[in-house]
Structure 1
């Protein structure tokens, strides 16, 4: 299987997604949107699309010239029936492409906080492994409304919508299950200025000390990817 990745920052890589893909013999290609004149592949050249996070907002097209073409590419991939996974900004871009509103979350949410599964998650074929609250890493100021027909995945105390599934093949996750301790360190180095004190913002020291808790996000992510792969194989 060929996975294509839309990457918005050099240091914010697919992380644990690469580990899962390598274990299953899948290959990767990339559009590095931070590079000069990024280009997008033909739809027939990949099976899955992964859209990663980034500091930009979905409406900053005047600041980021590649944002409008990226949105068009995401819409085309979804229309073509691709498996699509969006994380953080990626989830917001999917929600926007599906006609939902992206807006400022009531509170900045950065740190290791619990997410509760939505009632619908317990019986969803992609989420049967997600039966109880888990602590995952968050790093976002914006959030999204649920697209029409979407199944909600989870919520946290600070953010009502932590994920959604559409058509059993399009998944948006507001939190970061893909991060490794190394990527977290890079985010602290490059984006540490975003750690403005607040009720749902942990310090850099706390984040580093709790890096072992990334394991819960990894387990959730790998379970989700396994289910997506089984569904893709059945097409």
Structure 2
């Protein structure tokens, strides 16, 4: 089987639980470390799927790798190679597919409830899972839903939390979190938390409370979404 290409845009924002999910199913993975200077592939045919992780930058920044990534996403969608995006990754997908990315009304940092919408696409991806679950968030921008895609998740502070387009899934929230990632983000993002404020920003103490339980519950949600996504991988 061709490997899944996982694009990392910041050293602390790796694949987390997604890597464990692939490993448990013997699905090969290739890490494209954009943060370490890895070039963006120009041909999607070497991969069974593309996965884009988060990052502190904006898709609207003038960075040399953004245009090639957008082109690669469009190529993958045109060839029905599944694409999966987490936070920045979901924004990259949205922009590549004709949507836009701009400031969210408030910053979301920490744990927050999201709601699964009542539509056929949402039911296809979530099955009989609870209509609400607690996800992890760390963003100040958000995407519009690309033409032809279907919105499947929302939260009180961000209407567009996830969308699907055939085998492709773009998310604003972070379902890939591990305990280590949450702890690291709290440490490196302490100053941002202290200065952000707002109704959707939690303190490090609030974020770290019941961490093992929260991560385990989020992993269960992620497993359902990832299981649906890998069903479309090119064999």
| Stretches of structure 2 lacking an aligned partner (at least 5 in a row) | none
**Distance in 1 between residues matched to 2:99 and 2:48, nearest whole Å:** 25
Q: Would the aligned equivalents of 1:95 and 1:144 in 2 still touch at CA under 8 Å?
A: yes
> Match for residue 10 of structure 1?
11
Query: In 1, distance between residues paired with 2:122 and 2:171?
Result: 18
Partner of 2:113: 114
Q: Within 2, Cα distance between the matches of 1:9 and 1:74?
A: 19
Say if 1:6 and 1:52, in contact at 8 Å, map to a contact too.
Answer: yes
Match of 1:201 in 2: 201
1:33, distance to aligned residue in structure 2 (A): 0.8
Deviation at 1:197, TM superposition (A): 1.9
Structure 2 distance, partners of 1:36, 1:122, is: 37
Counterpart CA distance in 2 for 1:30 and 1:86 is 14
Q: For residues 6 and 172 of structure 1, what CA distance do their matches in structure 2 show?
A: 14
Cα contact 2:43–2:72 (8 A) shared by 1: no
C-alpha distance in 1, partners of 2:52/2:128? 23
User: 2:149–2:164: 8 Å Cα contact kept in structure 1?
Assistant: yes
Structure 1 residues 219 and 29, CA gap change in structure 2 (3 angstroms) = same
TM-score, length of structure 2 as denominator length: 0.92
Distance 2:37 2:144 in 1: 32
* Residue of structure 1 in register with 2:171 after alignment: 173
In structure 2, the partner of 1:125 is 124
Q: Which runs of 5+ in 1 are unaligned?
A: none
TM-score scaled to structure 1, two decimals?
0.92
After superposing the two structures, state which structure 1 stretch, 222-231 or 15-24, moved more: 222-231
